[in-house]
Amino acid sequence: MKRVHLILTGLTLTIVLLSINRLSNFTQGYLQPFEFLRWLDFNAMLPIPLFSIILYYLLKREIVYENAFLKTGKYILLMVILITGIYFFGAGSGDHEVTNYLNFRFCDQGKVNSPICNIIKYNDDEFSHYVYYVGFILMNVALMLIEYNLPRKNGVTKKDLILIAVNSLFIALGIFANLAFEEIGLDLVFFGSVMLLSIYLLLQKSYKRLPITFYFAVAYTFGVVGTLFYKII
C-alpha cells in the first residue's frame, strides 16, 4: 500500500498544482511566438494532465496481478475503455485551455457577440467540458471495474483507509469546484452515476479489498453530495 498512497498523494498534488496555476500571478505571462497561450493555459493543457495520466497508469499497475482474468475479453474491453478515457481527457483539456485563452483575451469571457466568439465560447464553456468529463469518468470507471475483478488478496488496514479518504477529499474539492458554481447539467448526472457505481461495487465486495474504489467513492460522494447541498441552500 505504500506505493498506492504515494500515487494517490501525487493525484492530490495535481489538484494543488491546478489551483496554484489558476490563482498565481506567475502563470499569467504569455508564451512566444505571437503570445499564443498563457503559461496558465499551457500548464493546464500539457504537464499537469500528463502527470495525472502517468499516475493513473501507475495506479492501474498496482491493481493488476497475475490472474486468468487478464486473458479475458472483459479485461481487454476495460483497457479499451481506459484508453478511450485517456484520449477524451486529453482532447477535452486541449480544447478547453486553448478556447478559454481566446475567450478571455479576445471575447471578453463570452460577452462579445460575433460568430467566431460564439464558437470559441461554446467550445470553452460547454463542448470541452463534456469531452473532459467523459474522459475523466471513463478512466475512473475502468479502474474501478478492473479492481472489482482483481480485488486485493489481503484487506487494507483502517489506517490505510483513513489516509486514502484524506487524499480523496482533495479530488472531492476539485469536483465540487467544477460543479457547484455552474448550472446543473449532464456533468452532474455523469458524476452522480459514477458515485452510485462506486458505492454499488463496495457493497458487493469488502471495501477493504477495493481501496481504489473506496478512494473514488469518497471523492465522488463528497463532491456530488456537497454540490447538491450547496445548490439547495
Quick: pLDDT tens for 118-175: 999 999 999 998 999 899 999 999 999 999 999 999 989 999 999 999 999 988 988 8
214 contact partners, CB below 8 Å, separation of at least 6 = 161, 164, 165, 202, 207
* Better-scored residue on pLDDT, 71 or 180: 71
pTM metric for this prediction = 0.90
pLDDT of amino acid 191: 87
3-state secondary structure of 185: coil
Q: What is the pLDDT of residues 13-66, one digit of tens each?
A: 998 898 889 888 889 999 999 999 999 999 999 999 999 999 999 999 999 999
Residue 182 scores a pLDDT above 80:
no
Residue 8 scores a pLDDT above 90:
yes
pLDDT of amino acid 93: 96
How many domains, the chain? 1
pLDDT of amino acid 24: 86
- Residue 38 has φ and ψ, to the nearest 5°, of -85, 160
pLDDT of amino acid 59: 95
Domain assignment of residue 47, given as a range = 2-232
pLDDT of amino acid 73: 97
Q: Which three cell numbers stand for residue 203?
A: 457493497
Q: Which three cell numbers stand for residue 229?
A: 447541498
Average pLDDT, the chain: 93
Q: What is the pLDDT of residues 195-230, one digit of tens each?
A: 999 999 999 998 899 999 999 999 999 999 999 898
Give the closest residue to 17 by CA, choosing from 68, 52, 57.
52
pLDDT of amino acid 184: 66
Question: What's the longest Cα–Cα distance across the chain?
Answer: 60
